[in-house]
Amino acid sequence: MEQTKLTTIEKVIFLKTVDIFEHVPIEELGRVAALTEEVQFGAGETIYREGEPVEAIYIILEGRVAVQSNGKVVREVGEKHAVGTLSALDLNSALRTVKAIEPIRALKLPVQDFQDILSLDFELVKAVFRAVAQHIRKGEW
């Protein structure tokens, strides 16, 4: 999985395609992109453990993860999805265990940075909550 790191512009373009950021104006995504860093997880590696603190949201560039509750897979998500968003919004611990099914390449957005930027940008807040509401309506969260 040795790849060239994305530029800020490439991150912005990618973020526009991600579920929780699709309704965010491009101009606002530049600030979000600047706060992210690329990270990798190996197949089988645990990203979150149910009940433990969530320190970052991970936006999947490549690969798939299994979202588990009480040891059972409840869904799988992959590219263009963010994991840890709901936990980051309610300042709580991980609601589910999330494990890499295959090698993962992701953008890491620290929870504190996410919360800070939300406190400064109402348009971003509206866009993120719109996406969260859509996921809840679909029964995905």
**1 found inside a domain:** no
Place of tokens 């390449």: 105
> Model pTM?
0.89
**131 found inside a domain:** yes
**20 found inside a domain:** yes
**115 found inside a domain:** yes
Percentage of residues in the chain with pLDDT exceeding 90?
57
User: From the CA atom positions of the chain, what is the Rg in Å?
Assistant: 14
| 21-35, 73-87, 121-135: the lowest-pLDDT one | 121-135
pLDDT of residue 140: 66
Q: What is the DSSP letter of 53?
A: B
Place of tokens 């699709």: 22
Please give the order of strands across the beta sheet that includes 72-77. Answer: 46-48, 97-100, 65-69, 72-77
**14 found inside a domain:** yes
pLDDT of residue 1: 47
Percentage of residues in the chain with pLDDT exceeding 70?
96
User: Distance (Å, rounded) from C-alpha 19 to C-alpha 86?
Assistant: 13
Number of compact structural domains in the chain: 1
**3 found inside a domain:** no
**30 found inside a domain:** yes
Mean pLDDT of 23-34: 89
- pLDDT tens for residues 46-90? 999 998 989 999 999 999 999 998 889 999 999 999 998 888 887
Number of separate helices (H) and strands (E) present in the chain: 5, 8
Average pLDDT in the chain: 90
Backbone angles phi, psi at 19, to 5 degrees: -50, -50
CATH number of the domain where residue 39 is located: 2.60.120.10
Give the structural domain span for 104.
8-137
Residue 141 pLDDT greater than 80, yes or no: no
Note whether 6 and 29 are within 8 A (CB).
no
